[in-house]
Amino acid sequence: MKQRLAGLLLLLMLPSAAFAGSLWGPFSAGMTTEEVTKVLDDAYPIEEGDRLATNAVEALRRDGVELAGESFTQRFFFLNDQLSQVTLRLDDTRDFDAMLTTLEALTEKMRDQYGEEADSELRDSGPIRQATASWIDGNQRVSILLMSMGEDDSLLNVNYQPYTGD
């Protein structure tokens, strides 16, 4: 009984990275900023990074990441000093309709890598237009978000997050 209890306590003390899956490339949820920068020497710290609804804060950034023929800024978000999300934000934003072709190219690339979408939605009317698609791959959720940000500008993100089930 004491051995089981000791084993359970050891498991609880392990860092969450031991249980986390890959987020993007060689990065796993739970990594520290130091661990990320050891892998990516061109990632640089952000003093006043964005904060997500989860309270995760952007602490590292990397420019010029190529995906589906487009350039993205890679953003690393940390919660309690542990990596919790990797976001790729499209650098060259355009209006919503023009960005739909980029969304389609990204969706095809993700289908090749992860299979059919777990869910997708297109809201193409109203003041805020939005298109989303997401995939579940083991312990990670990959999602694409395209959202209008005014008449001539849109936001397109590819997010990599840990997934533990619904």
pLDDT of residue 65: 92
Does 152 or 97 have the greater pLDDT score? 97
pLDDT of residue 38: 93
The CA distance from 71 to 64, in Å, is: 5
> Is residue 147 helix, strand or coil?
strand
Whether pLDDT at 118 is above 80: yes
The CA distance from 109 to 44, in Å, is: 27
Q: 29 with 17: CB under 8 angstroms?
A: yes
pLDDT of residue 84: 94
The CA distance from 102 to 70, in Å, is: 8
Does 16 or 72 have the greater pLDDT score? 72
The CA distance from 36 to 26, in Å, is: 9
The CA distance from 23 to 50, in Å, is: 19
Q: Which residues pair with 148 in a beta bridge?
A: 154
Whether pLDDT at 15 is above 80: no
Three state DSSP letters for 44-67: EECCCCCECCCCCEEEEEEEEEEE
- Residue 30, phi then psi, degrees to nearest 5: 100, -10
Whether pLDDT at 2 is above 50: no
Q: How far is CA 48 from CA 2, 51, 59, in A?
A: 47, 9, 8
pLDDT band for position 153 (cuts 50, 70, 90): confident
Domain ranges of the chain: 2-162
Q: 135 with 123: CB under 8 angstroms?
A: no
Whether pLDDT at 115 is above 70: yes
Residue with token string 């936001």? 155
Whether pLDDT at 17 is above 70: no
The CA distance from 139 to 165, in Å, is: 8
